[in-house]
């Protein structure tokens, strides 16, 4: 039996934090994505587009709340279409 670990809100926050985005430890995926989008628009966030593309390539292991936060907030900020994310 193969066990797959899902990418949850904690993983998502940690990955965004690793890019230098300060996110409160209890932030929801939506809040974290909104903050990351705001930071990207204000100053650019190196590595954010690559992270979003990587995560969207793993849709089958993304929790729905993380997927929705990326689709709603980060794809538009990065000007990446959902089908190409």
Residue 61, domain member (yes or no): yes
Q: Which domain holds residue 76?
A: 9-19+26-84
Q: What per-residue confidence (pLDDT) applies to 16?
A: 98
- Contacts by 38-44 with C-beta closer than 8 Å and gap 24+? 40/74, 40/77, 40/78, 41/77
Q: What per-residue confidence (pLDDT) applies to 82?
A: 65
Of 11, 46, 50, nearest to 23 by C-alpha is: 11
Residue 3, domain member (yes or no): no
Q: What per-residue confidence (pLDDT) applies to 1?
A: 61
- Residue 81: pLDDT band by 50, 70, 90 thresholds? low
Reply yes or no on whether the pLDDT at 84 is more than 50.
no
Domain count, the chain: 1
Per-residue pLDDT averaged across 56-72, rounded? 95
Per-residue pLDDT averaged across 45-74, rounded? 95
Residue 4, domain member (yes or no): no
């Amino acid at each position: 039996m193969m066990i797959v670990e899902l990418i949850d809100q904690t993983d998502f926050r940690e990955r965004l934090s690793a890019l230098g985005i300060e996110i409160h430890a209890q932030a929801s995926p939506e809040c974290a994505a909104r903050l990351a989008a705001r930071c990207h628009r204000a100053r650019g966030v190196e590595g954010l587009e690559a992270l979003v593309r990587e995560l969207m390539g793993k849709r089958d292991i993304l929790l729905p709340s993380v997927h929705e936060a990326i689709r709603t907030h980060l794809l538009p900020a990065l000007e990446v279409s959902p089908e190409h994310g």
